[in-house]
Structure 1
Amino acid sequence: MASIRSDDSAGKPSVHSIKYRKVDGTIGYKRHVTKSFQHMPGAGKFRGNINTNHEFLFRNLDEQDPEKQHFRIKIDLLIEVDGMIIDHTNGEYNGNPNFQ
């Protein structure tokens, strides 16, 4: 998760690719996203601290409509970031084929 930064060393937005599980169980993929802190429409405000919010706010750079660029993903639904698989089991899996 530390690799998801809002900007790089030159101060430009850091671009990532993400794969995630949608609420309906299907897999989603976005090729070019940046971390975002912009509030989304609605009554609730986005809290930038992921420890209390449990989600990331991203901006989809491939989306042309500015109203649809910003989206949220629960951390637990992220599968891959920049091709690296996210292990949500805290290391319990470790490639063990018998893990259930």
Structure 2
Amino acid sequence: MSVKQVIKRKVAMAWLRSDDAQGNPSVHSVKYRRLDGSIGYKKRVSKSFKNLPGESGFRGNLNTNNEFLFVNHEKANQPFRIKIDLLIEVDGHIIDHTNGEYAAAR
């Protein structure tokens, strides 16, 4: 079994917001915790610009928005939201949400 790489939250968010060489949103796999505590997995998702909350659309600062809007390419481009704090993995990489605040004192 291979060891999964741990990435920082800001790296995961940069990957999810990125576009491919043609300017289209890049496609990723995501693993997340649902609000009921169960684990969810989506194999092919990308960021979405449709059905955005508010008149001005999705706020640019994802940390204050607290959720990420995706399109599920496996289900006829169905839009869905995931709370950022509930994301577990992106493309098989484990997300570290602590940003170092729990690092051991030296």
Same fold (TM over 0.5): yes
Give the equivalent residue in structure 1 for 2:58: 47
Q: Which deviates the most, 3-12 or 22-31?
A: 3-12
1:37 Cα deviation (Å)? Answer: 1.5
Cα distance in structure 2, aligned partners of 1:80 and 1:15: 14
1:6 Cα deviation (Å)? Answer: 4.8
- Give TM-score, length-normalised by structure 1: 0.76
Give the equivalent residue in structure 2 for 1:75: 84
| More contact order relative to length (CA 8 Å, sep ≥ 6) | 2
State the percentage of identical aligned residues: 63
Residue 2 of structure 1 aligns to a residue whose secondary structure is helix
1:5 Cα deviation (Å)? Answer: 2.6
Give the equivalent residue in structure 2 for 1:30: 42
What do residues 50-75 of structure 1 show as CA deviations (whole Å, max 9, x unaligned)?
Answer: 133111000000013x5xx1001110
**Equivalenced residues, count:** 89
Give the equivalent residue in structure 2 for 1:86: 95
Unaligned runs of 5+ in 1: none
Residue 51 and residue 89 in structure 1: after superposition, are their counterparts in 2 closer, same or farther (change >3 A)?
A: closer
- What amino acid does structure 1 have at the position aligned with 2:83? K
Residue 12 and residue 6 in structure 1: after superposition, are their counterparts in 2 closer, same or farther (change >3 A)?
A: same
1:18 correspondence with 2:27: no
